[in-house]
Amino acid sequence: MVELGKYAGTVLGAYGVALGLILGLVWLTLWQGKRMRRRLEATERELGIDG
Amino acid sequence: MSIWEYANPKKFMQTSAWVLPWVTGLAFVTLVLGLTWGFFFTGDDYRQGSTVKIIFIHVPAALMAINAWLMMLVCSLIWLIRRHHVSALAAKAAAPVGVTMTLIALFTGAIWGQPMWGTWWAWDPRLTSFLILFLFYLGYIALWEAIEDPDTAADLTSVLCLVGSVFALLSRYAVNFWNQGLHQGASLSLAPGERMAMTFKLPLYVAMTGFVLLFVALVLIRTRTEIRARRLRALEARGRMG
């Protein structure tokens, strides 16, 4: 295991915040994309359009 | 073949569907490699101790915070000059990624600054210009949401993007204009002076590549979502008209 010494909280805190924000952004991007694709497919089906 | 072919939403969707898995896979590999290498396999700095490991997220995030805005600037100019909808939607898609990168740069900078400078925050030229860039990102996103007509929203956000570009460039070059700040100069520079050791530089380059590829992957996914949203609005309008 990596030895971070007296700055362990600082380094882990910085990585935790950064990775949390990145994972949150990735999740939001995928969720919004999936939701929009489903809505568009449903509307195209409703209007009888082949997407 | 002309680059303007990609202004056609159908062509963009086809090409991005093919490119996306490759960019996403490469982004994942380079990010994991760069951050693992930097965190686990580099030593401590003789002055900064283990806090030097924060460089592997702070610098790539700051790089992308500025370059995301510059990409939005190019897309905004294309929209204003050639009226290609995909470019306006790509600029809109990049903003949430850019604001997240700016937030990461600000947070990790504050966390790093506390033990090194003895303060979380200082009204230093680079920090202040980054904060203003962050506010511009928020304003840009809010403006897109506030205006109902997409073309008017694209026009006004493009103008805001042009104005905000001054701060995006200031964020990059502020340390060169004003040297009274706490923030050090550029971490990676061709200018003579203090050099970063290769043991830090190599994983930093890999992490930066990972952040660039992550940005490209996220912007492609988000632009595809925006194109679908635009088509949905058009179909709903057509449905309402009978």
Q: What is the pLDDT of residues B64-97, one digit of tens each?
A: 999 999 999 999 999 999 999 999 999 999 999 9
Find out whether B196 and B188 touch, Cβ atoms under 8 Å. yes
Q: Whole-number mean pLDDT of chain B? A: 91
Q: At what angle are helices B198-241 and B85-117 packed, to 10 degrees?
A: 140
Find out whether A41 and B233 touch, Cβ atoms under 8 Å. no
Let me know if residue B229 belongs to a domain: yes
Long-range Cβ contacts of B75-80 (<8 Å, 24+ apart): B76/B157, B76/B158, B76/B161, B76/B162, B77/B158, B77/B162, B79/B154, B79/B155, B79/B158, B80/B155, B80/B158
Total domains, chain B? 1
Per-window interface: B 173-232 vs A, CB < 8 A: 214, 218, 221-222, 224-225, 228-229, 231-232
A5: distance to nearest CA of chain B, Å?
Answer: 7
Model-level ipTM above the cut of 0.90? yes
Q: Which two tokens stand for residue A11?
A: 């380094």
Let me know if residue B3 belongs to a domain: no
Let me know if residue B227 belongs to a domain: yes
Report in angstroms the alpha-carbon separations of B32 from B26, B56, B209, B217: 10, 11, 11, 15
Let me know if residue B98 belongs to a domain: yes
Where residue B166 falls among pLDDT bands split at 50, 70, 90? confident
Q: What letter represents residue B174's amino acid?
A: A
Chain A residue whose CA is closest to B238 = A47
Q: What is the pLDDT of residues B135-154, one digit of tens each?
A: 999 999 999 999 999 999 99
Q: What letter represents residue B11's amino acid?
A: K
Is B97 within 8 Å of A47 when comparing Cβ atoms? no
Chain A residue whose CA is closest to B231 = A40
Q: CB of A17 within 8 Å of any CB in chain B? A: yes
Let me know if residue B4 belongs to a domain: no
Let me know if residue B5 belongs to a domain: no
State the Cα–Cα distance between residues B201 and B83, nearest whole angstrom. Answer: 41
SS3 B45: strand
Range of the domain at B21: 11-179+196-234
Res B189 pLDDT > 70 = no
Let me know if residue B242 belongs to a domain: no
B140: distance to nearest CA of chain A, Å?
Answer: 18
A7: distance to nearest CA of chain B, Å?
Answer: 6
Pick the closest to residue B228 from A30, A35, A36, A32 (CA basis): A36
Q: CB of B238 within 8 Å of any CB in chain A? A: yes
